[in-house]
Structure 1
Amino acid sequence: MTVAAASAPTTDPTSRLARTVEPAEWTASGIPLLRNPREIVTGLHARHRPTPPTAVVAVLGPGERVAASASFGRGTGLPDGWEFRNALLDQLRRVIPHDLRLRRPIRTAVLLYCRAGDGRWTEEDGAWMWGLRDACTLHGLRCGAYITLTPHGWRVHGDDRQGRRPAAVGLGGSP
């Protein structure tokens, strides 16, 4: 088996499901809580105006100020943490240099995912969480919050803070 074949993602549903994070595992992993999630969500929403299905990755510097951010569309295949990780890494590499030379990460990456449905956890969310956690490790960042933005409002997964505004518009009706 070649190295390329060993590292390529597979369509096998069993291995695809291994690249996901369950809500209890996410909560137990010690993801740092945002001091003011409403401010982060409102700022990213104003900057990117995401509509479903759009991901917004942001790098927070000291004081939870957004140092860089990028938005991008989600692919059409089944939710796969490997592919989400690669998409996140691609965006991170475009907007900010890695922090791999630092002993400890000083910046934090957060992900806002705009999607249809309600704010409850889905398998797709678990794949995004896995991708965010892995991309942060590979880019030398601290893994931060995973936030969904739906027509019902926003929700920070893992600490269950949420709000009605801003909300996703477009797919699934208006808030």
Structure 2
Amino acid sequence: MSAGFRSAPASDPVSRLARTLEPSEWATAGIPLLRSPRTVVTSLWELHRPTPSTAVVAVLGTDERVAASASFTQRTDRPDGWAFRNSLLDRLRRVTPHDLRRRSPTRTAVLLFCRDGSSGWTDVDGAWMWGLRDACTLHGLRCGAYITLTGGGWQVLGEERGGRRPYAGATSNGTQPDPRTAPGALAGQAVPLTVPVRPKGPRSSDGAPPGAYRQAAAG
């Protein structure tokens, strides 16, 4: 299988339907369960604040913490797993090195897609599932959960786990965001996790150590 970005071999409806996964196929694909899906969903929502038609792809470490993530908008009027795969692989290559030299994957990629409608499976979801699975293979990652975020809340497709919050269009105070000012990561840019740094050295006259409020990227 090529790791390049060749055009899809065919764009007719029959070929596009072949580049999708049905719920039954996804259920038997050996997708690892998230230990705490609510924590993962909340972390991605806080980092990217996705609006409908926004996809958020994230790489999780063995501790299930977000190591890197990227958000981008994608047209879905003609869902094609090949096109979705190329978009996902492009973002993964921008934010994290591949693990192709490892004998088996140690990191997991998950995908959250924010859209209108109900949380049930659609042909768009099937194309995203196909694209996520293929992108993970080409980047040396384990294929993880596919999650929808709608006005009714979030749902891990293929599982019975979901919740009402966060939901599409929500903000921290429960109001609708202004799309011109809503916070979120730039498309294809890694979002570093930050932790307070406790500097060494003499304290200032007010008793606080110098640079007490400085932050650094978490390792």
- TM-score of the pair, normalised by structure 1: 0.92
Amino acid paired to 2:20: T
Instruction: Say if 2:96 is the partner of 1:66.
Output: no
Aligned residue in 2 for 1:33: 33
Amino acid paired to 1:124: V
SS in structure 2 at match of 1:62? coil
Q: Matched residue pairs, number?
A: 165
Aligned residue in 1 for 2:125: 125
Amino acid paired to 1:121: W
CA separation in 1, counterparts of 2:20 and 2:67?
27
SS in structure 2 at match of 1:145? strand
Aligned residue in 2 for 1:52: 52
Give 1:77 deviation, angstroms. Answer: 4.5
Amino acid paired to 2:59: V
Amino acid paired to 2:71: S
Percent identity over paired residues: 69
CA separation in 2, counterparts of 1:97 and 1:77?
31
CA separation in 1, counterparts of 2:101 and 2:77?
35
Instruction: Say if 2:175 is the partner of 1:138.
Output: no
Aligned residue in 2 for 1:19: 19
1:72-129 CA distances to partner (integer Å, 9 max, x unpaired)?
A: 0012540000000000000000000000000000000000000000100000000000
Aligned residue in 1 for 2:106: 106
What are structure 2's unaligned runs of at least 5 residues? 1-5, 171-175, 177-219
Q: Which has the higher helix share?
A: 1
CA separation in 1, counterparts of 2:114 and 2:34?
18
Q: Which of structure 1's runs of 4+ aligned residues deviate more than 6 A?
A: none
Amino acid paired to 2:40: I
What are structure 1's unaligned runs of at least 5 residues? 1-6
SS in structure 2 at match of 1:40? helix
2:76–2:124 CA contact under 8 A, matched in 1 = no
Amino acid paired to 2:7: A
Give 1:130 deviation, angstroms. Answer: 0.1
Q: Which has the higher contact order (CA 8 A, sep 6+)?
A: 1
Amino acid paired to 1:123: D
1:50-93 CA distances to partner (integer Å, 9 max, x unpaired)?
A: 00010000000011011000000012540000000000000000
CA separation in 2, counterparts of 1:145 and 1:123?
17
Cα RMSD of the aligned pairs, angstroms, is 1.2
Amino acid paired to 2:127: A
CA separation in 2, counterparts of 1:77 and 1:154?
22
CA separation in 2, counterparts of 1:122 and 1:77?
12
SS in structure 1 at match of 2:130? helix
